[in-house]
Structure 1
Amino acid sequence: MEVLVRLLLIVATIAFCAMVWTLAFGRITDGPGALVAALFVITANYLSSTLLGRIWPWWSQRLQRRSEKRRQASDFHGQKGPVHSILPVLAVVATLIALWYAGAVALNAPWAYDKAARAEVTLTFPELVADTWSQEKPKLPAPHQVAAEMWNTTGAMIASGRPFSKRSLIYHSWITFSSTALGFLLGTALGTLLAIGIVYNRTMDMSVMPWVIASQTIPILAIAPMIIVVLNAVGISGLLPKAMISMYLSFFPVVVGMVKGLRSPSAMQLDQMRTWNASRSQTFWKLRLPSSMPYFFTSLKIAMAASLVGAIVGELPTGAVAGLGARLLAGSYYGQTIQIWSALIMAATLAAVLVGLIGLIQRITLKRMGMAT
Structure 2
Amino acid sequence: MKSALPIATVVLALIAVWYVAAALMNASLQRDQFANAGRADYSTQDLVGASLNMERPKLPAPHQVAAELYKLVLATPPTSKRSLVYHGVITLEETLIGFAIGSALGIGLAVLIVSMRWLERSMMPWIVASQTVPIIALAPMIVVILNQFDITGIAPKAAIAAYLSFFPVTVGMVKGFRSPDPLQLDLMRTYSATNAQTFIKLRAPASTPFFFASMKIGAAAALVGAVVAEVTKSEDGGLGARLLAGSYYGQTVQIWAALFAAAALSAALVGAIGVAGRVAERRMAFTP
Query: What TM-score do you get using the length of structure 2 for normalisation?
Result: 0.97
Distance in 1, Cα, partners of 2:41 & 2:21: 22
> Which aligned runs of 4 or more in structure 1 are off by greater than 6 angstroms?
none
Give the aligned residue type for 1:153.
L
Match of 1:323 in 2: 238
- CA offsets per residue over residues 178-209 of structure 1, 9 Å max, x none? 00000000000000000111111123111111
Question: Where does 1:1-373 land on structure 2 (aligned, <5 Å)?
Answer: 83-118=1-36, 119-157=38-76, 162-373=77-288
| Counterpart-to-counterpart distance in 1, 2:70 and 2:223 | 23
Q: Output the CA distance in 1 between the equivalents of 2:59 and 2:236.
A: 25
Instruction: Confirm or deny: 8 A CA contact 2:97 2:158 kept in the other structure.
Output: yes
Residue by residue over 1:23-43, the C-alpha shift from the partner in whole angstroms, topping out at 9 and shown as x without a partner, is: xxxxxxxxxxxxxxxxxxxxx
Give the match's secondary structure for 1:320. helix
Q: Distance in 1 between matches of 2:234 and 2:34?
A: 39
Aligned length: 287
| Conserved 8 A contact 1:175-1:323 | yes
- Contact residue 153 and residue 236 of structure 2 kept, 8 A: no
Quote the Cα distance in structure 2 between the aligned partners of 1:120 and 1:132. 15
- Structure 2 contact 234–240 (Cα < 8 Å) conserved: no
Q: After TM superposition, give the deviation of residue 321 of structure 1 in Å.
A: 4.4
Verify the 8 A CA contact 1:224 1:313 in the aligned structure 2: yes
Question: 2:259 aligns to what SS in structure 1?
Answer: helix
In the alignment, the residues of structure 2 paired with residue 108 and residue 154 of structure 1 have an alpha-carbon distance, to the nearest angstrom, of 26
Q: Give the letter aligned to residue 86 of structure 1.
A: A
SS in structure 2 at match of 1:281 = helix
Shift of 1:120: 4.8
Once the two structures are superposed, residues 67-86 of structure 1 have per-residue CA deviations (whole angstroms, 9 ceiling, x without a partner) of xxxxxxxxxxxxxxxx1121
Task: Verify the 8 A CA contact 1:312 1:325 in the aligned structure 2.
Answer: yes
Higher relative contact order (CA 8 A, sep 6+): 2
**Preserved CA contact (<8 Å) 1:116 1:122:** no
Please report how far the alpha carbon of residue 318 of structure 1 lies from its aligned counterpart in structure 2 after TM superposition.
Answer: 1.4
- Rg larger in structure: 1
The residue type paired with residue 108 of structure 1 is: N
- Residue 272 of structure 1 aligns to a residue whose secondary structure is helix
CA–CA separation in structure 2 for the residues paired with 1:320 and 1:85: 44
Which residue identity lines up with residue 280 of structure 2 in the other structure? T
- The alpha carbon displacement at 1:322 in A equals 1.3
Q: Which residue of 2 aligns with 1:9?
A: none
CA contact (8 A) 1:195 1:258 kept: yes
Structure-1-length-normalised TM-score: 0.76
RMSD over aligned Cα, in angstroms? Answer: 1.0
List per-residue Cα deviations over 1:76-116 (Å, max 9, x = no partner). xxxxxxx1121111111111111111110011011112223
Unaligned ranges ≥5, structure 1:
1-82
**What amino acid maps onto 2:25 in structure 1?**
L
Contact 1:113 1:123 in 2 (8 A): no
State the distance in 2 between where 1:95 and 1:216 align: 35
